[in-house]
Amino acid sequence: MKGYLLDTNAVSDWLDATRPRHATVSDNIGRLMRTETLLLTSTIVLGEIEYGIQTAPQEIQQRLEEFRSQVEVEFVHNRLLLDVTRGTTFVYGDLRARVFEKYAPGEKRKKGMRPEELTSPTTSKELGIQENDLWIAAQAIERNLILVSNDAMRRIRDVAPELRVEDWGQPSR
């Protein structure tokens, strides 16, 4: 069965009618909901939403809390929320290693060097990735799901051609 994993930006586009991509993403999701296609999101997405609530200015926290409630109704109560599993950790480790091998600064990519030998570990910023994107991508790969995101994740996709990504905010899909 074909399935999709919604990234944070896709969930936001769907549930927030004020976003410019809302109508297109909602149409795509509406079409899928009339089929047997699996539509999921990640606990990582819930963490990103919670972080947004905790760090947002007071004047928009209420709106974000309402948004979190919508996400919980759509995904948590309907059991359409993926947790990180032991299998995810294997895929994540492999993905991060591939990104490291290709994109870490040259002096940090010495063959045979163990992570604990690095005096300054390579950051996500140096690798040009978002750490949470790696986890979400790992979940999609682990379960053979298509990741729905408007984040190109170019560096992850460059080292992981098995990651399938679709942007549902584009008018023609």
Model confidence pLDDT, tens digit, residues 9-59: 999 999 888 899 999 999 999 888 888 889 999 999 999 999 988 998 888
Examine the domain organization and report whether 78 and 93 are in the same domain: no
Q: Can you tell me whether residue 14 is helix, strand or coil? A: helix
Examine the domain organization and report whether 22 and 95 are in the same domain: no
Residue 143, pLDDT above cutoff 70:
yes
Examine the domain organization and report whether 79 and 147 are in the same domain: yes
Examine the domain organization and report whether 80 and 95 are in the same domain: no
Between 83 and 122, where is the model more confident? 83
Examine the domain organization and report whether 13 and 68 are in the same domain: yes
The mean of the pLDDT values for the chain is 86
Residue 118, pLDDT above cutoff 60:
no
Residue 160, pLDDT above cutoff 60:
yes
Q: Are 99 and 127 a contacting pair, CB within 8 Å?
A: yes
CATH code (residue 72): 3.40.50.1010
Examine the domain organization and report whether 105 and 27 are in the same domain: no
Domain count for the chain, please give it.
Answer: 2
Q: Does residue 153 fall inside a structural domain?
A: yes
Q: Does residue 173 fall inside a structural domain?
A: no
Name every residue whose Cβ is closer than 8 Å to that of residue 6 and which is 6 or more positions away in sequence.
Answer: 14, 39, 40, 41, 45, 148, 149
Examine the domain organization and report whether 23 and 67 are in the same domain: yes
Examine the domain organization and report whether 145 and 65 are in the same domain: yes
Q: Which domain range does residue 67 map to?
A: 3-84+140-166
Q: Does residue 133 fall inside a structural domain?
A: no
Q: Are 91 and 142 a contacting pair, CB within 8 Å?
A: yes
Examine the domain organization and report whether 93 and 79 are in the same domain: no
Burial of 117 (C-beta count, 10 Å sphere; 0-12/13-18/19+): exposed
pTM, to two decimals: 0.85
Q: Does residue 171 fall inside a structural domain?
A: no
Examine the domain organization and report whether 14 and 60 are in the same domain: yes
Give the pLDDT mean for 150-162.
90
Q: Are 84 and 91 a contacting pair, CB within 8 Å?
A: no
E strands, the chain, are 3-6, 38-42, 81-82, 146-148, 164-166
Q: Does residue 108 fall inside a structural domain?
A: yes
Please tell me the distance from the alpha carbon of residue 150 to that of residue 8, in angstroms, as a whole number.
9
Please tell me the distance from the alpha carbon of residue 96 to that of residue 104, in angstroms, as a whole number.
10
E strands, 110-153, are 146-148
Q: What is the pLDDT of residue 103?
A: 86
Examine the domain organization and report whether 51 and 98 are in the same domain: no
Examine the domain organization and report whether 78 and 55 are in the same domain: yes
